[in-house]
Structure 1
Amino acid sequence: MTFSMRSFKRKFIYIFFVIGYLISTQTSASSDTEGLRQLLQLTEYISVDYASAISNGKIIDQGEYQEMLDFSNIIAERAVREPGEQAMITLSKSLLCAIQAKKTLVEIQALTSELKNVLLKNSPQLSLPTSLLSVSRVKQLFQNNCASCHGVTGKGDGELARQLSPQPTNFNERTRALDRSILGLYDVVTGGLDGTAMPSFNHLTAKQRWSLAFYTGSLAFVFDEKRQENNALDLSLADLVQYSPNELYRAKTDLEKGFVEQLRANPEELFSATKAPLTIARDQLKKALAAYKNNDVKLAQQFAVSAYLDGFELIENNLDAYDSSLRKMIEFNLLGLRNEINNKEGSVDVAVSVSAVLLQIEQAEFLLNDSAISDTALFSASFIILLREGLEALLVVLVLFTILVRSNKKEAIKYLHFGWAAALIAGGLTWLVAQKLVTISGASRETMEGVAALLAAIVLFYVGFWMHSKTQADQWQRYVQQNINKSLKSGALWGISGLAFIAVYREVFETVLFYQSLLTQTNPSQQFVLFSGFGAAAAMLVVVAWLMIKYSIKLPIARFFSITTYLLLALSFILAGKAITALQEAAIISITRFPIDFHFAWLGINSTWQGITTQAFILFFSSALFFKPWLKKTSRVDE
């Protein structure tokens, strides 16, 4: 056996794999899972390095060949310990025999591919990434964590490379890259590599580790933008992650040669359906500017609207946990950009505005991707999302509930329950359809929410005025005796059900989207914190419901209707403001800025003339109701 640095490196790796294997035989079921992933690494290792040991049926490196034998022995022995997995046992023995017989590389790789399929089948379901860091961010991450050993371009020639034994991997070596999977790279980034200087980077978020794996797996390949491919739908993200390019070509003979390399060089196509919100915002802004320069103002406006509603809006809650002032600034500039586009002024001004927003989005992306969100910020964001989105709907349903109870029409409550329960189901189904079947744009979603909020505001405003006329106990009793039975029989029950449906449905779909976006910023270990925030908000909503029901039933009838009237009018005020804001965000209603900038999200107040005018109208008539009894009393005193 000839001595070489390469042989020395492999001997180190071999020793530590053997040690790891011996330790794993003594561990519990949780370690069995790690053992399967270790066997996956060993199997891929054989597939990648067998060519360095055997050529034309002859040993070209005795040390390499001995490692192939030892690794295949470990796999075969471990497979026997898997109950009921005959396929794993058979394939592992076949692989060992094939290596002993010095079979060709093609035969060995065919066996390793089959064995890998069985190992993946028996491993826990892999949690695949939903998005990657931007190219600029992952390059910076690589420079900060990897370049000192692997080199600036990943060729294994970093400043520390000569001091290391074995030397760092050259990710630009195409032949080996064709036999290396993204999953294998991810496992090494996550757990490190025993016997080498490669440490574990488990302190990075899963998104950062996946991004590094995809990046290092791309360095051996060059993306050709002119190349037209027709196989995009034939290859899933799971395929690209779990299998090497050569394994995919062997399994999918209809794949055009070079296609997998193109995806490895630029995997963005596989994430197109689940792009990160800020990536969507950035892409749509660039399209808006291009359309504007081509004098297509209408298309530019559509892209500008999409940049906010399909992109930035979905991470507003996340960004608030880091920098609320930056969130407000980006929101203000995105909405203001539409006015600039509509003004049809010079493209230079629009280009400057787009560049400014893109820079702010880059800052937001840095904050969100640089590290995982803290537990405190995550809990707070999760808590506020449900409390803010759920409180209005809850108050509407509770007011309707208490009105029915105080009217002695408890049999009508089932219609109310049907309304809000149907809204929860419909909201969930809408989200599911939007994910799987059709694309519901941000503009459509916001229009739906705006119209629903406006309709609810009108109904609540009307009911508030109607209830004010019944605040006297004798008036209410007379009305109940004369009209309530007739009203409840003439379709009002379904009206109550419909109002409950509208109040709840408008919140459900968007709430799910907000939590879905928040999940992308969390580590698996933080999911308990996220659900704790959700649970705490749900508990608070339950407490609010209990207090309202308990004390509203005990109130005198006149007092009850007086308080309920003002609560309904307050809800109408809030919903009207939010309706105008939603319709403005969807570009249904124009935006005219108020001279002074202010924003009170909980009250639905925004600094636009359209929103302020609408809410001022409700406030004026509500105030008239409030002061009307006082004016009458003053008039009698004067007489």
Structure 2
Amino acid sequence: MNVFLADGPSVGSQMFGSGLIGVREGLETGIVVMVLIAFLIKSGRRDALRWVWAGVAIAVAMTLGAFLIIHLGTSTISNLTAELIAGLASMVAVVIVTTMILWMSKASVHISSDLKSGLTDALVRGGPAVMGLAFLAVGREGFETALLMVGYAESVSGGLWPLAGLVLGVLVAIVLTVLIYRGAITLNFHKFFFWTGLFLILVAAGILSYGVRALQTYGWLPGIGSTAFDFSDHYDQSSWYGTLLAGIFNFRPDPTVLQLIAWAVYLVVVLALFVRANRRPAPKGLPAADTAAGADPASKAPATSDAGI
């Protein structure tokens, strides 16, 4: 079986969705690495850079390994068992990704200082401690990405096109990170993470819906025969909009009642928490309307401003 052959959503829509995930998660990871490298260079500790890169390499290998083991492992077992594993992986992915999105909304303003403080302590303890810090910092983002991609890939196809899109997205993120580091471009990180966070929430809602249906198919959840609505006769799933919506947001024209309830409740609750966490108080002397429009200078690059990047 050719793992690059995909049924259902088109290759383009699968790669587009996973590519956006790759850009978001890759840039988030790139910012972390940027802060560590800039701090070491400014501190005159270039000798410790090899330990940072070693930690990053191990974290990347762990991310790829986790994705491939879980994703490809489902192709060697029965369809029903694969549904169970995919459903459980989707649920775990939604929980972890949602937690990380909400955490990033609050932690972005002080993540740079936290990393620098941890790296200062690690430098005292030696190279392996620096490698461990880099591994944990990047590995946390990587593990989140791996679980998100497992849920996303399982929901759109059984092939590796979502992984290909992820790799392309990460490559774009690497280029953006280098350009930002060299001062060639500037990026409003608060706006970037806000809008991409909204996108990930919509993706996660689709993964949750897919996971619910998978567990219903296996029999762990009831209601597989209770369809909320069905307009399949008037909805062309093979059209450009059908493949796009299915490939990115896992939309289907015949969801079960439980799927629809889970999807709606998730969006209402998580979007409310996300928007609340991303509110930025207006600085003294600056109207709140200006802050909402992105006029808060501190929101420009909270993760790298202290690093001088």
- TM-score bin, normalised by smaller chain: 0.3 to 0.5
Q: Max radius of gyration: which structure?
A: 1
TM-score by length of 2: 0.48
Structure with the bigger RCO (C-alpha within 8 Å, sep 6+) is 2
TM-score by length of 1: 0.26
